[in-house]
Homo-oligomer: A and B are copies of this chain.
Amino acid sequence: MATPDTRTQILDAAEHLFAEHGYRGTSVRAITKLAGANLAAVGYHFGSKAELMAAVARRVIEPINAAQCAGLDKLLAQTPDPPVGELVEAFAGPLFDEMPAGDEGGARTSRLIVTILSDPAEEARSWTGPAEDSVRERYLAAFARVLPGLSPEELAFRMRGILAVTAVDRLEVHQQPSPGCVSPVAGEAARRWAITFLTAAMSAPPTQT
């Protein structure tokens, strides 16, 4: 294969390291070393470490957002009230896919997403654009329609719960393996378990007030 250009190699290396060690735990020097590039290349191609992080996030999130959007379009083209399970799958499914399947760590993408979403560093939260908000609002409206009786606040809580559960792999990865603890599992099984888990959770009747 033709060796990709420096910019792409830096993006790849940064994606890998950010997913594993977070924003603050990854130094520009480590990124450029892994990428086989010079230290100054980050400044030249991206401007700063924070802008590099934003570029990494965009590259990962954009296809996922597109898949979520397309999945919702497809569902709504059939019926205005799709089953909850299909809404969950259209929303959460793309968060598990998008992994090249030959990847060394597996589940690198979902790990990176949750790293980004939960990273305590402010720089990791400055990349979201109107596209992300738009998709979330469309799903919010769809869920509100098929889950009547649920208050907007509780629905918002459950939507955040979906994101949190996709973070499950990450919680485990960062824990040292302990006796009696089953090791995390490859992406496909986790994806289907998550959809089972989340479909039941989303379908729960509203909490009594």
Binding site for B on A (CB under 8 A): 20-22, 24-25, 114-115, 117-121, 125, 128, 133, 136-137, 140, 152-154, 156-158, 160-161, 163-165, 167-168, 170-172, 174-176, 178-182, 185, 189-190, 192-201, 203-207
Number of copies: 2
Quick one: closest B residue to A133, CB to CB? B178
For the complex, would chain A's binding face be called helix, strand, loop or mixed by DSSP majority? Answer: helix
A174 x B204 contact (CB < 8 A): no
- Choose from B121, B174, B189 the contact partner of A118 (Cβ within 8 Å): B174
- Which of B158, B160, B171, B189 sits near A163, CB closer than 8 Å? B171
Q: Point out the residues of chain B lying under 8 angstroms from A21, CB to CB.
A: 120-121
Residue in A128, A192, A201 whose Cβ sees the most chain B Cβ within 10 Å = A201
